[in-house]
Amino acid sequence: MDLDFWWLLVIPLAFALGWAAARYDLKTLLSESANLPRSYFRGLNFLLNEQPDQAIDAFIEVVKLDPDTIELHFALGNLFRRRGETDRAIRIHQNLLGRPDLPENERDHALFELGQDFLKAGLLDRAEDALMKLEAGEYASDAQRALLTIYEIEKDWIKAIGAARRLETMGTDSLAKEIAQFHCELAQEALQRKQTAEAAEQLKLALQANAQNVRATILAGDVEQAAGHHAQAIEAWLRVEGQNPAYLPLVAEKLMKGYAALGRAADGAARLTEYVERYGSNDLLELAYPHVAELSGAEAAHGLARAQMQRAPNLAGMTRLIEAQMATAEEPRRTELDLMRTLIKQRTKNLPRYTCQNCGFRARLFYWQCPGCSGWETYAPRRVEAMAAQS
């Protein structure tokens, strides 16, 4: 009975407290709304009616009437930047930074947004200057990511490595894949300058960062080849199979040149034949076919193409199979096969493409960094025949 009596007291009391809290919140909301300029509500109305230009004008009027609306300043600046009006965004964020009473956290926010404005405008040096000032605080990690983007655009790989390392110390996910690629870029540049020792050192650092970096292994073979060490180059390129056999088409021609330089071209053709049979790659068949035909004969090339077509039928493989049949066919059968090959080539010459697995950007060449989304190692090392490409 005592328990029921207390419940009778508690329920009305809870109701009374809830009613009082609601009245207080309503009075607070009405008080705050009364202090807002009419332009603010006009701006909201324009936004609701999908009239962004008029909404911006109304909000600008609010900012002029009430300079203390910091959040509205940030909202306007971001809106201008997204619309490509970077000069207006820069002015808004610079005006905020010019206020002596701006809290430290809001100052960091304004500095970060200003860096983003400069980056969007292509003023990379000014963006870097702004973002470099955010070494600590809430926006330090985002600033480092923006700096990393700047260094990648500028191809300043040493600074990019430093920015990636700092990001890792801030608790972000591992950037070992990116760091290894930056070292590979430095190695590539050194190799172009014929500084093979520097290239080899950078590749060593790349593999220390990411032992599974296939590009570093391929470049290691290039360094040996540049030094005239063909056997060591072949040994490096053969290691690609152990890392990721999908990348073997990227070293197939290199292997053939290495074997040819040693007077062992037949061994190179046999190696490529083995790869085609083991992994069933259409790209490998495309590369191996002419070498097998030249060194092992048309019948061997025909058998290789026929077996691959049975495993993975495709239009490029069909072209090779027709060519193999043409080598032993007689007229008029040979003429008919040639017409078929020509027709298929015309229909498929633009089909095989490397495709970014992140953004879908398609290209005829293989890229370690996608030109579309700037992601590293997002291209599958296998070309695909997207029939939608026909138009």
Task: Establish whether 184 is an annotated binding residue.
Answer: no
First CA to last CA distance, the chain: 84
Estimate to the nearest angstrom the gap between the alpha carbon of 227 and the chain centroid.
33
- Rounded to whole angstroms, the maximal C-alpha distance in the chain is 110
CA-based nearest residue to 326, from 339, 312, 307, 343: 339
Where does residue 176 rank: exposed (0-12), middle (13-18), buried (19+ CB within 10 A)?
middle
Q: Scanning the structure block, which residue is given the tokens 């029939």?
A: 387
The residue among 315, 323, 320, 326 whose CA lies nearest residue 286 is 320
Q: What is the DSSP string of 288-350?
A: HHHHHHHHH-HHHHHHHHHHHHHHS--HHHHHHHHHHHHHH--TTHHHHHHHHHHHHHHHHTT
Interior/surface letters 256-279, b for 16+ CB within 10 angstroms, e for the rest: bebbbbeebbebbbbbbbebbeee
The Cα angle at residue 137 between residues 110 and 132, in degrees rounded to 5: 65
> For 195, what's the count of Cα atoms within 13 Å in the CB-facing half-sphere?
11
Task: Please give the DSSP secondary-structure letter assigned to residue 358.
Answer: T
Is residue 365 classed as helix, strand or coil in its secondary structure? coil
196, 205, 233 from 222: Cα distances, Å: 10, 16, 7
Quick one: 1 exposed, middle or buried, by C-beta within 10 A (0-12, 13-18, 19+)?
exposed
Q: Is 194 left (phi over 0), alpha (psi -120 to 50) or beta?
A: left
User: In the 8-state DSSP scheme, what is residue 172?
Assistant: P
Question: Tokens 């879908």 belong to which residue?
Answer: 360
Binding residues for Fe cation: 356, 359, 370, 373
Binding residues: 356, 359, 370, 373
